[in-house]
Amino acid sequence: MPVTSVIPKTNNIALVGNPNTGKTSVFNALTGLRQKVANYPGVTVEKKTGSFSVNSTTFTVYDLPGLYSLIPKSLDDKISTEIIYNHNNDVELSCIVVVVDAANLSRNLYLFTQILDLQIPVVMALNMIDVADKKGIKIDIEGFKKEFNIPVIPLIASKRSGLAELKNTISDLVTNPDISQQKYMPIPDEITKCIGDFRNFVKNGFCESEVSLTARSLRIISSDHVLQDWIDKIDNTKIDEAQQSLAKARKRLLESNQHWSMLETKLRYQWIDEVLKTYVHTSKTDKQSLSDRIDKILTHKVGGLFIFFIVFAMIFQAIFSWAELPMALIEDGTNWLGQMVTQLIPAGALQDMIVDGAIAGVGSILVFLPQILFLFFFLSILEDTGYMARVAFMLDRVMNSIGLSGRSVIPLLSSFACAVPGIMASRTIQNWRDRLVTIMISPFMSCSARLPVYVLLIGAFIPQGSFLGIVSYSALTLLAMYTLGIVAAILVALVFKKFIVRTMPSSSFVLELPAYHRPNLRYTFLQLLERVKIFVTDAGKIILAMSIVLWFMASYPKSDESDTSNSSQKIEQSYAGKIGKFIEPAIKPLGFDWKIGVGLLTSFAAREVMVSTLATIYNVEGADETSGSLKESLKNDRDPVTGELLYSPLTAISLMVFFVLACQCMATVAIVKRETNSWRWPITMIAYMTGLAYLASLLTFQIGSYLGIGV
């Protein structure tokens, strides 16, 4: 056995670069992990760690949110700069891999040259070489190496090409770090002289090289915004002196005919322009104009919105029609399992608990897995092709009219999958109030956990058939529920903006439209697999536990054997029945009975638990009948006294409306607490969403009953 080498704690590598340049793709390829990759800026908003080994040396890799410059503007930018500067004294970087988009060199090299000034070993990962090729951009890689005196590795991260070389290069550089030859931005002597004294103030509290000190001093001098940030951090007693010194430096610069404002930017672009002129040649192609023409249509004021609507309607249609077969298979599978267990385990409480509690509860949720996967599949395709970025761009105007910017679009669209990552994505919003409003309305976007509830109720109560023979009534109802969520979000945003959070005008939204990509199906499927894992383990934990607890509460206390009452009256005597009956008066005006009441209570843990709750109740109740599917049980459930059908399509609509609007998700509440750093906002959220849900359901049911619709 070879002696395992001692792993130094310092082998930390950071992946840094502009947004959407492929950092996470590189990270996944290096570490074998599966962090989210998508074709729009601002996908990664947290630092993520992983590791890889070369010759039994292990390297820790940090994937960071993208940023345009070392001047942080939003929360996700700050996370990156904190690591780069080691502000928290926790991660000392041995090497920075700057991931550069070869098809957008000018903008990408800006951050790259800032990183060079830090005097940390740097590798340039020249990614998206395939895209650059298609655009006719030829890069002299040897020339780059010589110009900057650092390793430059051409990459196609999405195809994992160039990865081995990147690994070896990182390993070599970290084992043998020599930055004495590494280039940095040339600052003319006369400017350095003008800055001179001020550097002493900047130096306070930091230990860094002369070069990076000069560069950072220049950055502070060049921008009042950076200056303010810096002043906020320095010792109070030094502020006056520092400001005088700064004023002197600026005055000296003016005297030598250098305007200080934007001076850093000017110097950098001078250098970058020269480098590009020498080493990069672009042959003209008309490829660009095709995607321009597509963009004209997809982001058209009216046409674009229409296409957006059609795309989503088609997705819902597909969710219903394509999922039928796999759903039927899963349903058969759970039924079969239930029968097997019934044969294997002798009749009694244990058998009941496993069959009516665990299998019925978990099975009722698993059935919806295909639909959820289709939803994720389509969202991921839309994200990966670059269409989502177009949607954000197109909706900018719409968002402005409700006082938000296009920046809120991606967080809101992500919330269609799940509000938790959606709320995290709001970190890219610079203006705190905009961010807060976005967080507060994200849970209105119908997430995948609502899908089982919608699909169950639509399946049981919405008539078959289609509108004009194109879109089924089922898909239309689903679309209506999603639309209701969006409308509610808009109204609430307006109210928040008007009355609660008075706001400054939001900063203008500049989004670069990423190049269209063919979606990377390999990643899509890997991400779906991850989804399945999460879903199944969640079902395994929360839903299994809840189902067993509910089975117990619905089965006990057992009524007398000699009791002649039927099983549905027995269940009303159970703990669950008593709780349901207790809250029934409050929800009766919404059209709900005690069974739905119990489901509403449990669904505050997680929405889909509603479905497993109903499944368990019906299984306990119908234990001695041949139990049909949950859908059938709901449809055919009759009042034990009057013998009338218990639920109508109107009940179903009212219940769906409640689920669109109510805040029934612990995970969302927890993430809002974390992202806003106080209990005030999550509590506000629970209160106003639940209130709104109650009110809307009440109106739906009462007006519907009055007009005689769906009763």
* DSSP H helices in 386-450: 387-394, 396-401, 409-414, 419-425, 432-441
Least Å from the CB of residue 417 to ligand GTP: 16
* DSSP H helices in 135-262: 141-148, 163-175, 189-195, 198-203, 210-222, 224-233, 239-255
Distance in Å from the first CA to the final CA of the chain: 77
- Of residues 136 and 421, the one with the C-beta less far from Mg ion: 421
Least Å from the CB of residue 43 to Mg ion: 5
- Of residues 157 and 492, the one with the C-beta less far from ligand GTP: 157
Q: What DSSP element (H or E) covers 97? A: strand 93-101
Least Å from the CB of residue 530 to ligand GTP: 15
| DSSP single-letter state for residue 20 | T
Residue 689 partner contact from ligand GTP, Mg ion, none using kind-dependent CB cut-offs of 5 to 8 Å: none
Residue 500: count of CB within 10 angstroms of its CB: 14
- Of residues 158 and 477, the one with the C-beta less far from ligand GTP: 158
Residues 23-82 that bind Mg ion (CB under 5 A): 23-24, 43-44
Least Å from the CB of residue 431 to ligand GTP: 19
Task: Give me the residue whose beta carbon is nearest to ligand GTP.
Answer: 66
Least Å from the CB of residue 514 to ligand GTP: 7
| Residue 475 backbone zone (phi > 0: left; psi -120 to 50: alpha; other: beta) | alpha
Tell me how far apart the alpha carbons of residues 492 and 481 are, in angstroms, rounded to a whole number. 17
Strand runs labelled E in 500-601: none
Handedness of CA 177, 182, 185, 191 (dihedral sign): positive
Tell me how far apart the alpha carbons of residues 513 and 515 are, in angstroms, rounded to a whole number. 7
Least Å from the CB of residue 429 to Mg ion: 17
Build a one-symbol-per-residue string for 118-157: x at contacts with ligand GTP by CB under 6 A, - elsewhere.
Answer: ---------xx-xx-----------------------xxx
Least Å from the CB of residue 44 to Mg ion: 3
436: Cα within 13 Å, side-chain hemisphere: 19
Interhelix angle 473-495/451-461, rounded to 10 degrees, is 130
Residue 611 partner contact from ligand GTP, Mg ion, none using kind-dependent CB cut-offs of 5 to 8 Å: none
25 class by beta-carbon count within 10 Å (0-12 exposed, 13-18 middle, 19+ buried): buried
Build a one-symbol-per-residue string for 42-71: x at contacts with ligand GTP by CB under 6 A, - elsewhere.
Answer: xxx--------------------xx-----
- Of residues 39 and 44, the one with the C-beta less far from Mg ion: 44
- Of residues 34 and 203, the one with the C-beta less far from ligand GTP: 34
Tell me how far apart the alpha carbons of residues 70 and 226 are, in angstroms, rounded to a whole number. 10
Residue 379 binds ligand GTP, judged by CB under 6 A: no
- Of residues 130 and 208, the one with the C-beta less far from ligand GTP: 130
Residue 41 binds ligand GTP, judged by CB under 6 A: yes
Residue 405 partner contact from ligand GTP, Mg ion, none using kind-dependent CB cut-offs of 5 to 8 Å: none
Residue 37 binds ligand GTP, judged by CB under 6 A: yes
Residue 668 partner contact from Mg ion, ligand GTP, none using kind-dependent CB cut-offs of 5 to 8 Å: none
Which residues sit opposite 125 in a β-bridge? 99, 153
Least Å from the CB of residue 39 to ligand GTP: 3
- At 551, list the tokens: 């089975």
Give the number of residues in contact with ligand GTP, rule: CB under 6 A: 28
Span of 21-29, 419-427, 619-627, 676-684 interacting with ligand GTP by CB under 6 A = 21-29
Strand-pair category, 122-127 with 152-154: parallel
| DSSP single-letter state for residue 284 | -
Least Å from the CB of residue 74 to ligand GTP: 12
Q: Per-residue b/e over 447-476, b at no fewer than 16 CB within 10 Å?
A: bbbbbbbbbbbbbbbbeeeeeeeebbebbb
Residue 25 binds ligand GTP, judged by CB under 6 A: yes
Q: Give contact residues for Mg ion (rule: CB under 5 A).
A: 23-24, 43-44
Q: Give contact residues for ligand GTP (rule: CB under 6 A).
A: 17, 19-25, 37-39, 41-44, 65-66, 127-128, 130-131, 155-158, 384, 517, 520
